[in-house]
Amino acid sequence: MLTFSSEVIYRCWTAGVVRFDHQEACFRCCCPFLAGAIEKQKLVYILNRDAAARLTISSPLEAHKANTLVYHVVGVDVGFENPMFACLEMDYENDLDDPERGMIFVCSATHKTKSMFFFLAQTEQGDIFKITLETDEDMIAHLGDDDEEPEFSSAMPLEEGDTFFFQPRPLKNLVLVDELDSLSPILCCQIADLANEDTPQLYVACGRGPRSSLRVLRHGLEVSEMAVSELPGNPNAVWTVRRHVEDEFDAYIIVSFVNATLVLSIGETVEEVTDSGFLGTTPTLSCSLLGDDALVQVYPDGIRHIRADKRVNEWKTPGKKTIVKCAVNQRQVVIALTGGELVYFEMDPNGVLLRTVLDPVTGDLSDTRTRILALEKLGAVFNQVAFPLQYTPRKFVIHPESNNLIIIETDHNAYTEATKAQRKQQMAEEMVEAAGEDERELAAEMAAAFLNENLPESIFGAPKAGNGQWASVIRVMNPIQGNTLDLVQLEQNEAAFSKTKNQGNKILACLCCLPSVGFLEQSYASAQTPVEEVPAAIAPFQGRVLIGVGKLLRVYDLGKKKLLRKCENKVRLPPNTNDEVDEDPTGNKALWDRGLLNGASQKAEVIMNYHVGETVLSLQKTTLIPGGSESLVYTTLSGGIGILVPFTSHENVIDGDLCEQFNSMEPNKQKNVAEELDRTPPEVSKKLEDIRTRYAF
């Protein structure tokens, strides 16, 4: 399939499908399989064995069909009959416009038992249907369902005045067992330390429609609030310690103030204790579990060692010196005294955790690596906080002074809040007007109940406004608390895309809207400028704004009533194209000047590339860990977050995900790979760990 021509290689080869007929493979000596391409080509092969039990492949049988796209191929169970395959295809020969489609089924599942089976199919609106197959002598008669409610289709003709409606209700036949958070789709991402946590956070705008959200991602496990206790003042530091090394939970909360230390006991309630052995009349610099069942308290005038039986050993600082800094772990204590003196304490034996390899022949220790014990990941690389949004977030930027987020939310086929209220009021009035004289009172009650009922759109979905209807809002949000500081509702049919820019001491938000372009200042005074085509790209440029309008690239400046166009440039052929064609009438020069894969000679040279496999929507250069090196962080439409790190010792791009599979390989395979690199498996693992921790988590 790779030898037809250069025009069809990509369509015939990439993302092809292969399906076997398992029934034939189990009961016959031959096994048919189908190899299909995305477009047109399908080849069927027969696998067989000769007298010497060697595998043979027959000549392919062609099953091509022009002007078709193949979505999926499966082998059909036909018993001992001739092999059969089912293909899900689309014929695009006469499709010149977008199809007039209805609802789309996005996923399905099959439930099988010994006596029956049925299908569950879910639509893009979130509705789930139970579908059964009614058979007659092993032949499918028709499709049916087990729902006792009356069926209805929009294609059914209705009598004059008749209508059809249903009452939304919670789940009755299904029970929610578990749910998995997903970032898909990610539409915009910004990385910044807005919470002043030293480690930057990932602010991700994801979701679609009323299920959209702004998510704040932090590396590590999520912190849950278990109890709240009022304190007499502002503490300087807080620690939690255990009584014994094998205890599952901490026993004390140590709170240090300017001139005192408060000890709280953790149990059914959080309460103050006075017999813990800690010195409460002085501030605490650090405290920790020492050894298996002892506690240590470091305070400015000394160190307090508290044993399990409440016996206390103290070490006082010499002379008038005090402790200014300290570092404590389970076996060691290091303190810094005034005057630049360091004092080191340790328990015997030293409990530093080392990972080392013992040679079985010589007994030498090698490949020693220090390990730091921490919490288990428990499958969570990031913890996230989600703040719901109203429409699909298209883009957001960070306000440089307040660190607030300016979010643009835009949805197609949607109503604004004002239009929703207007349409709802109109429908209620039509309900009353359509009722007869004897039903007028009942219709009024139904209309009032309809107006008072507000179903959550994140669960039941939002009403569809129709093609060409847009709704947009501009939201100013505090990313730390998640509350909306201001919300600007745009008019119906205005779709906004934004970028902020500075001009002097003013913070301006320039909006690319359908059907206009405008500026918004902090006082929310707007100036609209009509353009010929859809403005899809915008960026600040030397105190002005650079906007892509169709095939034009324009520079605008702020005027009194609207934007002033300063200059524009058209995307077109170079001016010397005619001269080059006149000099080479035969085309030989252009033929030999062609680039890679017969591409145009004037194309830019590709330095390197890497196939991500998904649509990348954001790319940002940042530092993810304090003191680490810079890296490129990208997000994809399907919710993936990836990092590209510089690797100067090798050309092109290396797949880091593939390299990290080394640690999950079997030991013998690890040894084979390491021998090819003239290294040992521990050296390869250590190198991979160093690369990851140098740039990311």
Q: Which residues, in sequence order, are bridge partners of residue 237?
A: 256
Out of 189-198, 264-273, 654-663, least confident range? 264-273
User: Coil, strand, or helix at residue 345?
Assistant: strand
- Considering the chain, what is the average pLDDT of its residues? 76
Q: What is the dihedral of CA 31, 34, 35, 41, to 10 degrees?
A: 150
Report the alpha-carbon distance of residue 384 to residue 214 in Å, rounded. Answer: 10
The pLDDT of residue 360 is 63
Q: Answer yes or no: is pLDDT of 659 > 70.
A: yes
What is the pLDDT, as a whole number, of residue 11? Answer: 40
Q: What is the pLDDT of residue 557?
A: 79
pLDDT surpasses 80 at 579: no
Tokens of 565: 């166009």
pTM of the model: 0.56
Which is more confidently placed, 367 or 477?
477
For 223-281, write each residue's pLDDT tens digit: 666 667 677 778 888 888 888 888 888 888 888 888 888 888 887 777 788 888 888 88
- How far is Cα of residue 61 from the mean position of the Cα atoms in its chain? 44
Mean local confidence (pLDDT), 354-360: 57
Task: Please give the residue that has the higher pLDDT: either 141 or 415.
Answer: 415
pLDDT band at 397 (very low <50, low <70, confident <90, very high): confident
Count CB atoms within 10 A of the CB of residue 620: 14
pLDDT in tens, 537-562: 777 777 777 877 777 888 887 777 77
Give the C-alpha distances (Å, rounded to integers) separating 223 from 236, 351, 382, 383: 20, 29, 11, 9
Query: Which of 19-23, 209-213, 309-313, 616-620 shows the lowest mean pLDDT across its residues?
Result: 19-23
Three-class SS state of 502: strand
The residue that leads in pLDDT, 4 or 260, is 260
Residue 342: φ, ψ to 5°: -110, 135
DSSP 8-class letter at 522: T
Average pLDDT over residues 674-679: 90
CA-based nearest residue to 277, from 247, 245, 249, 314: 314
Cα 558 off chain centre by = 37
Decide if pLDDT at 37 tops 70: yes
Half-sphere exposure (Cβ direction) of 499: Cα atoms closer than 13 Å: 15
pLDDT tens for 295-350 read: 889 998 888 888 887 788 888 888 788 898 889 888 888 888 888 788 877 775 54
pLDDT at 352: 43
For 413-466, give the DSSP string.
S---HHHHHHHHHHHHHHHHHHS-STTHHHHHHHHHHHHH----HHHH-PPP--
Whether the predicted pLDDT of 511 surpasses 80:
no
Q: How far apart (Å, rounded) are the C-alpha atoms in residues 66 and 11?
A: 12
Q: Give percent above pLDDT 70 in the chain.
A: 73
Predicted local distance difference test score (pLDDT) of residue 506: 52
User: At residue 500, does pLDDT exceed 60?
Assistant: no
Kindly state the average pLDDT of the residues 497-518. 52
Selected residue with higher pLDDT from 325 and 494: 325
In this predicted structure, which of 470-484, 529-543, 581-595, 681-695 has the lowest mean pLDDT? 581-595
CB 489 within 8 A of CB 414: no
| More confident: 517 or 411 | 411
- The band of 137, judged by pLDDT with boundaries at 50, 70 and 90, is low
Q: How far is CA 616 from CA 185, 201, 407, 537, in A?
A: 11, 19, 20, 16
Q: Which of 101-115, 139-153, 405-419, 430-444 comes out lowest in average pLDDT?
A: 139-153
Torsion of CA 583, 588, 592, 594, to 10 degrees: 80
Q: How far is CA 649 from CA 306, 573, 606, 646, 653, in A?
A: 53, 40, 20, 9, 11
In this prediction, residue 142 carries a pLDDT of 56
pLDDT at 73 over 50: yes
Tokens of 607: 């330095």
pLDDT at 1 over 50: no
| Cβ neighbours for 162, distance < 8 A, ≥ 6 positions apart | none
| CA-wise closest residue to 163 among 435, 440, 458, 504 | 435
Higher pLDDT, 55 or 268: 55
CA dist 226 and 5 (Å) reads 66
- pLDDT above 50: residue 665: yes
Number of neighbours of residue 514 by Cβ within 10 angstroms:
18
Give the span between the Cα atoms of 262 and 151, in whole angstroms.
68
pLDDT reading at 2 higher than 80: no
Q: Is the pLDDT of residue 354 over 80?
A: no
Most confident residue range from 139-148, 154-163, 173-182, 317-326: 317-326
Once rounded to an integer, what is the mean pLDDT over residues 68-97?
Answer: 79
Over residues 597-603, mean pLDDT: 59
C-alpha to C-alpha distance for 692 and 697, rounded to whole angstroms: 7
Retrieve residue 605's tokens. 């040279």
Inter-helix orientation angle 681-695/667-676, to 10°: 80
